[in-house]
Amino acid sequence: MAQLGRAALLIAFGLVAYALIAGSYAAWKRRRRLALSAQNALLAAFPATLVAAVILIVALGRRDMTFVYVWQHTSHELPLGYALSAFWGGQEGSLLLWLLVLTGYAGLAVWLNRRSRELMAWVVPVFALIAGFFTFMLCFVSSPFNLQPAPVDGNGMVPSLQNPYMLAHPPLLYLGYVGLAVPFAFAMGALLSGRTDERWIVATRRWTLAAWTFLGVGQLIGAHWAYVEIGWGGYYAWDPVENAALMPWLAATAFLHSVMIQEKRGMLKVWNMVLVALAFNLSLFGTFLTRSGVIDSIHSFSKSSIGGWFLGFLVFMVVFSVALIYWRLPLLRTKTKLESLVSREATFLYNNLLLVALALTILWGVLYPILSEAVRGQTRSVSKPYYDFFLHTFGLPLLLLMGIGPLVAWRRASLRSLGKTFLIPFAVAVVTGVTLLALGFGSSWPGLLAYTFSAFVAASIVLEFVRGRKAAGSLTRLISRNRRRYGGYIVHAAVVLLAIGIAGSSAYQTVRERVLRPGQSIEAAGYTLAYRGSTTISGPNYTGFRAQLTASGHGERFNLDPGMNHYTIEGPANEASIYHDPRSLGDVFTTAQVVNARTGTIDLKVYVKPLINLIWIAGFVFVGGALIAMWPDAVEQRRLAARYAAGAVPAGL
Amino acid sequence: MEWALALAAVLAVVAVVFVARPFLRDPAPASDRLDELAPEARRRLALAEERDRALAALKELEFDHRTGKVSDADYRAQVGPLRRRAAEVLRALERGEGTTHERITAPEERAGR
């Protein structure tokens, strides 16, 4: 079976190598049949990769320990679902998943745009270049099909990965990371072919939105996993690998806004190319961080030999994209200028600068330990205060701009009309800020500002819907005729919920820790938690203990049972116990460790986190808004189809 | 082992046939030249994009005016230039009607050969 997997990967490698070489030659020499042949090679790479993926999945399902990869990441006791999730739990499997998603996306994107031959002739080799790297790694550097004499059992899976969220979090991140390859390939294809009109943007608009949505949801699910599973009381630790997913998401967010300026005003062509290249290269960098073992973190479970290759490819892709943009600068320059610094496009530009600044400061935070080790021989890392400072510096103005932007007209806005449109949101923000200050929320200025700005943004969104509905006649008509705009506003509403949830759960949280014997209690933010004693438990591949707590406060009475699991093969893991308060949307989060098993003494830690559930609710709102924005608009499809009637871009994904 | 190799061989053959398909289906084409837009067609495509932008800007201005985001004075100041721009682009497109989205294929085909 492994031989078939290896052969399938070799075939995929041959196909993408052909698509790269023959495709480039065909595009350069304008050979139609050769270009189609290269396109077919890229299309055929997906089923070949799928064969390899199915073989690895079957081996994982059967716990076939003759596969080194299966032995490294599973055990016979590991439940089937988690054994299958080992597909993306290790280096070789996750590279295979990257390739599978990439060839699938590439095949679909190429097929949907197959009639646009001039552009596709260069898009195919760009896709093939990326796929070529991954197939090379899988065939010659890091194969998932290495065999060995079957040992008795495998190494199992890290306990914290044995969580249902881990069945969704990594694949969603990969769908996002790899999805950014689509706008990148089309953008580079546009530069190579000299087709710097909007065709590539039209063809990839929904791909970018989909990739951005996957990346956003993937991060939220990862944050929820960290919150319920890791047991440190938080959901985002500025871990390098968490940052690795955040950076391309920020760059893609900037692109999604700035591309609207290109579509509406014909401006920022160079900037959009830079953002697409930045987003994709950051997604490659994210994979490099996750898989190269260059930075130790909770996610970097495996050290690997692929780091040098990956770094080389990353540098090559950065140079490749920068050189192409520089080469095509004359085609990308436009005559249109910004008419006013007080206009919708200007606020988008400010938003872009802040998003990119935030992404780059996070990048510096991630790179600093690596560079300090390389230069000084000592690893010096930046910590939470560094990231928090820049999150406040760039994030809070970004939040405010989210409310300002929609209220400002395109091209230019007079002070008089601004005063009129800003009156209500400004009043709401002032009343909110003053009330919160009076209630004692001034203990955290970033928290107070986040709440106040959120009120301003929420009011501006509501106002936009109310005025828009009045002008359009009905809410359905309003949204169906302006899906991108109003879908975008719903996404903004999700960000408001996120900001309130983050501010509440971090700036205004309460943390208490105490060593308790049975019968003793602890108090935190109006809750009293009484420790009754502990019990032992057992599962399919673990044993553990649970502290029995009875809690009361704020008119609620509930039980909690934090503890620890000891996995047979993998070792100990924290098991937090959380009470979700449906009225306040906050949580009481507890963890417990045994201090003295004989006397039943435990070390109990309690976190009271106000409004934290808004973060998870924001995820659903975010998906809803993104789906509305992505939903095809028949009128627009027809208009674009007419524009590109010859050699057209179908208005599909 | 043997069945795996046989399956791999089948996979390889199917892939090769699929890749060679454009040559197998069309062994002696009249032209093997890849489509490309002529400079004139590119200019017209740019005009079409400009037309769409101008019309969308007008629509947006109307909507913003109705929702109160743009005052009457601002609306009057902006609507004229936008309408003129849209009209200019439409006129430019009309002057070249019939070749707006001209698709140029092989030079031989253009020459009628």
Burial A406-416, CB ≥16 within 10 A → b, else e = bbbbbbbbbee
Residues 259-318 of A with CB under 8 A from B: 263-266
Smallest Cβ–Cβ distance between B11 and the set A51, A468, A646 belongs to A51
The residue assigned the tokens 């028949």 is A634
Q: Which carries the bigger pLDDT value, residue B104 or residue A50?
A: A50
Burial A65-96, CB ≥16 within 10 A → b, else e = bebbbbbbbbbebbeeebbbbbbbbbbbbbbb
Kindly report, residue by residue over A49-77, the tens digit of the pLDDT.
Answer: 999 999 999 999 999 999 999 998 998 88
**Percent of chain A whose pLDDT exceeds 70:** 97
Q: Token pair of A126, please?
A: 């760009």
Kindly report, residue by residue over A84-97, the tens digit of the pLDDT.
Answer: 999 998 889 999 99
pLDDT for the residue A530: 96
pLDDT for the residue A295: 66
Does the beta carbon of A584 lie under 8 angstroms from any beta carbon of chain B? no
Contact A130, A83 (CB under 8 A): no
Please tell me the distance from the alpha carbon of residue B106 to that of residue B83, in angstroms, as a whole number.
Answer: 39
Residue A641 confidence class, pLDDT cut points 50, 70, 90 = confident
Please tell me the distance from the alpha carbon of residue A403 to that of residue A351, in angstroms, as a whole number.
Answer: 11
Q: Token pair of B46, please?
A: 């740019």
Please give the residue of chain B at the shortest CA–CA distance from A411. Answer: B78
pLDDT for the residue A432: 97
Q: Which carries the bigger pLDDT value, residue B5 or residue A373?
A: B5
Q: Which of B1, B2, B34, B104 to mutate to test the interface with A (most CBs of A within 10 A)?
A: B34
Would the pLDDT of A19 be above 80?
Answer: yes
Q: Distances in Å between the alpha carbon of A146 and those of A56, A115, A132, A268?
A: 11, 41, 20, 49
Please give the residue of chain B at the shortest CA–CA distance from A406. Answer: B69
Q: Which amino acid is at A401?
A: L
Please give the residue of chain B at the shortest CA–CA distance from A46. Answer: B15
| Chain A CB contacts of B21 below 8 Å | 36-37, 40
Residue B100 confidence class, pLDDT cut points 50, 70, 90 = very low
Instruction: Decide if B60 and A410 are in contact by the 8 Å CB cutoff.
Output: yes
Smallest Cβ–Cβ distance between B22 and the set A36, A414, A467 belongs to A36
| Chain A CB contacts of B13 below 8 Å | none
Going by C-beta distance under 8 Å and a sequence separation of 6 or more, which residues neighbour residue A263?
A198, A201, B53
Does the beta carbon of A409 lie under 8 angstroms from any beta carbon of chain B? yes
pLDDT for the residue A446: 94
ipTM for this prediction: 0.82
Please tell me the distance from the alpha carbon of residue A476 to that of residue A460, in angstroms, as a whole number.
Answer: 19
Q: Which of B45, B69, B72, B104 to mutate to test the interface with A (most CBs of A within 10 A)?
A: B69
Residue A358 confidence class, pLDDT cut points 50, 70, 90 = very high
Q: Which carries the bigger pLDDT value, residue B77 or residue B106?
A: B77
Kindly report, residue by residue over A238-291, the tens digit of the pLDDT.
Answer: 988 889 999 999 999 999 999 999 988 888 899 999 999 999 999 999 888 887
Residue A379 confidence class, pLDDT cut points 50, 70, 90 = confident
Instruction: Decide if A37 and B20 are in contact by the 8 Å CB cutoff.
Output: yes
Q: What is the mean pLDDT of residues A417-428?
A: 91
Residue A339 confidence class, pLDDT cut points 50, 70, 90 = confident
Smallest Cβ–Cβ distance between A7 and the set B8, B41, B57 belongs to B8
Residue A37 confidence class, pLDDT cut points 50, 70, 90 = very high
Q: Which carries the bigger pLDDT value, residue A427 or residue A472?
A: A427
pLDDT for the residue A20: 97
Mean pLDDT rounded to a whole number for chain A: 90
Torsion angle (degrees, nearest 10) of CA A255, A256, A262, A268: -20
The H-assigned helical ranges of A137-164 are none
Would the pLDDT of A297 be above 50?
Answer: no
Torsion angle (degrees, nearest 10) of CA A618, A623, A625, A629: 150
| Cα-Cα-Cα-Cα dihedral sign, residues A283, A285, A291, A293 | negative
pLDDT for the residue A298: 44
pLDDT for the residue A213: 97
Residue B1 confidence class, pLDDT cut points 50, 70, 90 = low
Kindly report, residue by residue over A178-208, the tens digit of the pLDDT.
Answer: 999 999 999 999 999 988 888 899 889 899 9
In this complex, how many residue pairs, one in chain A and one in chain B, have their CB atoms less than 8 Å apart? 149
| Chain A CB contacts of B60 below 8 Å | 264, 410
pLDDT for the residue A410: 85
Q: Which of B26, B35, B79 to mutate to test the interface with A (most CBs of A within 10 A)?
A: B35
